[in-house]
């Protein structure tokens, strides 16, 4: 397959590019490098099946030649990034997704949208199944990311239903691993860097809020399983709306187009994660407490029954092993 990865030089995007190349596909990596880094894909630059384009997916989007699939991963993704780049975050969720879907329609390509557990907001149910509509404050600072992804999901489903574009939506829960930026504001990277530098670990609130962390290798495996799975009845590129609207009630063909949670259901408090990082790094760091940011979710845990059933997927890298791998990565980066 020839596959476009938008945001391909980012943390997740670069791991996806690498995995696709290893599977024998041809990859076009697109990134405007606002939060992505060329260093993340440096090892791929000499590969004849890999090409890099510095480009903003919100602009006119055209790729020469055929495309079989598009992985739309372009977006600021850490709280620090989307709070500093609120309008850019909203634009890539709306305009960028629109451009990517338009290209998928023109090329007859399958599109996989990277959505997020943030669509659930500060959830009132735990764990969160895909059927949960969420509890989002649209006008909070954090809302720019939540609503950008919720709109992107709605637009993706509209293109599937109205234009017959073959789409997938993955809702990504907290993920960590090599190639995270040391100071990107995410919990695991913050804690590891602070611990390795002997600085106090910054816990917001009392640390009782929960998160569920998935190692990047497990996440990539789940995403690619969702990308490659075929529908029970192939979705043709059609503009016959009577045909498409009739298909909306066909649960067999719709099932793979609805969102799928990919994440690790092992739930820990933020304070537990901080203590575990201190233990694994053998750091002398202490823990300090700071005011909780607005609308910070109190719980976060994926219900992955749908992924288990549809994709036969579940995470298999133990949290402690994954943290040790990530700690070793940051030791090298900081050195």
Model pLDDT for residues 250-284, shown as the tens digit of each residue: 444 458 999 999 999 999 999 999 999 999 999 99
* pTM greater than the 0.95 cutoff: no
d(CA 160, CA 92): 19
Report yes or no: 71 and 10 within 8 Å, Cβ to Cβ. no
d(CA 329, CA 303): 29
d(CA 172, CA 99): 22
Model pLDDT for residues 209-218, shown as the tens digit of each residue: 999 999 999 9
Q: Both tokens of residue 296?
A: 């910070």
The mean per-residue pLDDT over the stretch 44-56 comes to 97
- Catalogue the active-site residues: 145
- Cα separation values, 178 from 175, 182, 192, 317, Å: 10, 10, 12, 14
State residue 163's pLDDT score.
97
Confidence of residue 67 (pLDDT cuts 50, 70, 90): very high
d(CA 155, CA 236): 19
Q: Using the structure block, give the residue that is written with the tokens 């451009």.
A: 99
Model pLDDT for residues 160-184, shown as the tens digit of each residue: 999 999 999 999 999 999 999 998 8
Task: Give the domain 2-180+214-265+302-315 fold.
Answer: Rossmann fold (3.40.50)
Name the H helices within 197-292. 216-228, 241-247, 251-254, 270-281
Q: Exposed (0-12), middle (13-18) or buried (19+): which is 114, by Cβ within 10 Å?
A: buried
């Amino acid at each position: 397959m020839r596959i476009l990865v938008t945001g391909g030089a980012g943390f997740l995007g670069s791991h996806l590019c690498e995995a696709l190349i290893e599977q024998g596909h041809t990859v076009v990596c697109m990134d405007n490098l606002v939060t992505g880094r060329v260093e993340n894909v440096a090892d791929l630059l000499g590969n004849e099946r890999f090409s890099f384009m510095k480009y903003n997916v919100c602009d006119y989007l055209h790729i020469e030649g055929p495309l079989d699939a598009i992985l739309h991963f372009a977006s600021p993704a850490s709280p620090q990034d989307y709070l500093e780049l609120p309008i850019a975050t909203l634009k890539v969720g709306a305009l960028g997704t629109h451009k990517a879907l338009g290209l998928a329609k023109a090329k007859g390509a399958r599109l996989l949208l990277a959505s997020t557990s943030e669509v659930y907001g500060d959830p009132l149910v735990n764990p969160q199944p895909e059927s949960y509509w969420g509890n989002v404050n649209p006008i909070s600072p954090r809302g720019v990311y939540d609503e950008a992804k919720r709109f992107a999901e709605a637009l993706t489903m509209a293109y599937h239903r109205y234009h017959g574009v073959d789409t997938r939506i993955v809702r990504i829960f907290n993920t960590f691993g090599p190639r995270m930026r040391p100071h990107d504001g995410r919990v695991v990277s913050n804690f590891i860097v602070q611990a390795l530098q002997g600085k106090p670990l910054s816990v917001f609130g009392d640390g009782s809020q929960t998160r569920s962390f998935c190692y990047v290798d497990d996440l990539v495996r789940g995403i690619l399983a969702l990308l490659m799975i075929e529908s029970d009845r192939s979705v043709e590129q059609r503009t016959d709306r009577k045909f498409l609207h009739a298909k909306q009630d066909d649960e067999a063909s719709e099932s793979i187009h609805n969102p799928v949670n990919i994440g690790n259901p092992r739930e820990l408090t933020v304070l537990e994660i901080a203590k575990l990082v201190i233990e694994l790094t053998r750091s002398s760091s202490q823990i300090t407490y700071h005011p909780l940011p607005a609308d910070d979710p109190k719980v976060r845990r994926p219900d992955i029954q749908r992924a288990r059933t549809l994709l036969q997927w579940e995470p298999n890298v133990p949290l402690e092993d994954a943290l040790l791998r990530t700690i070793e990565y940051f030791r090298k980066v900081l050195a």
